[in-house]
């Protein structure tokens, strides 16, 4: 019981947003300050005056650290930030052994995103099953918000994800898939490539290089 109670307390602390009314925020190599119209929450999405979409990674003693999600213009020193709703992402991936459609939404657990996935598992002889799974993915910026002339680095992220669920092949069996890759945003659109491992009870495990295309809303 003590271990369970300690875990629950840790979980509550983890998902409880951090609040601040006046922020000094780190953006690139510059420090700027802005008065927020409402309390800032870790994991919340903001839009700056150039239309860039950034996510509040953490707040501590009035210092906020952001990750850039979508670049639409140059950074402006002292830019006013406008809070917006959560980020929704829809992405479809196709590989050697399966094709999946993913949906995820940003939460205060940023950079962790809950994700659901559905698709088809196939072999050289055709479709062998339907996959329905849920899990999480995490995005880690390659360069944070460092100033860079290379947009491929500035907007690029390492992505890791894992989902678990069922595979329906006339019967229902356990299935899970884990993967990692590289993701890049072109405005609201994103593409990614990587490799994953699919495991099913009856089919064993298979390596699946994949390519994905998606959109952030």
Q: pLDDT 10s per residue in the chain (217 long)?
A: 455 445 444 443 343 333 333 344 555 434 444 555 456 777 888 888 888 888 887 776 666 777 778 878 777 766 777 888 899 999 999 998 889 999 999 988 888 899 999 999 887 777 778 999 999 998 877 765 444 554 555 667 889 999 999 999 888 999 999 999 998 888 789 999 999 999 988 777 889 999 999 999 8
d(CA 48, CA 9): 35
Number of domains in the chain: 2
- CATH number, domain containing residue 151: 2.40.160.20
Q: Residue 210 corresponds to which tokens in the numbers above?
A: 């994949």
Domain that holds residue 53: 2-84
pTM of the model: 0.76
> For residue 75, which of 47, 40, 111 has the smallest C-alpha distance?
47
Q: Are 213 and 91 in contact (CB under 8 A)?
A: yes
- Beta-carbon contacts of residue 51 (< 8 Å; ≥ 6 apart): 72, 73
CA dihedral 105, 111, 112, 117 (to 10 degrees): 50
Strand-pairing partners, residue 157, are 141, 183
Task: Choose the final residue of a domain: 84, 104, 128.
Answer: 84
Q: Single out the residue of 45, 55, 49 nearest to residue 74, CA to CA.
A: 49
Same-domain status, 161 and 185? yes
Question: Quick one: which of 57, 36, 167 has its CA closest to 106?
Answer: 57
Same domain, 128 and 106: yes
Which of 34, 68, 84 corresponds to the end of one domain?
A: 84
């Amino acid at each position: 019981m003590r271990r369970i109670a300690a875990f629950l307390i840790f979980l509550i602390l983890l998902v409880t947003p951090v609040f601040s009314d006046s922020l000094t925020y780190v953006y690139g190599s510059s420090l700027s300050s802005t008065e927020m119209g409402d309390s800032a929450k870790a994991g919340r999405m903001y839009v700056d005056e150039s239309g860039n979409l950034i996510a509040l990674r953490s707040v501590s003693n009035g210092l906020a650290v952001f990750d850039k999600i979508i670049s639409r213009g140059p950074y402006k020193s002292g830019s006013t930030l406008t809070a917006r709703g959560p980020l929704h992402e829809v992405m479809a991936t196709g590989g050697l052994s399966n094709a999946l459609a993913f949906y995820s939404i940003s939460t205060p657990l940023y950079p962790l995103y809950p994700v659901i996935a559905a698709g088809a598992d196939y072999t050289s002889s055709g479709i062998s099953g339907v996959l329905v799974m849920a899990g999480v993915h995490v995005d880690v910026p390659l360069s944070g918000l460092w100033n860079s002339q290379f947009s491929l680095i500035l907007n690029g992220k390492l992505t890791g994800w894992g989902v678990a669920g069922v595979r329906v092949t006339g019967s229902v069996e356990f299935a899970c898939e884990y993967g990692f890759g590289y993701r890049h945003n072109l405005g609201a659109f994103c593409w990614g490539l990587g490799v994953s491992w699919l495991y099913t009870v009856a089919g064993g495990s298979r390596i699946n290089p994949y390519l994905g295309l998606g959109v952030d809303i």
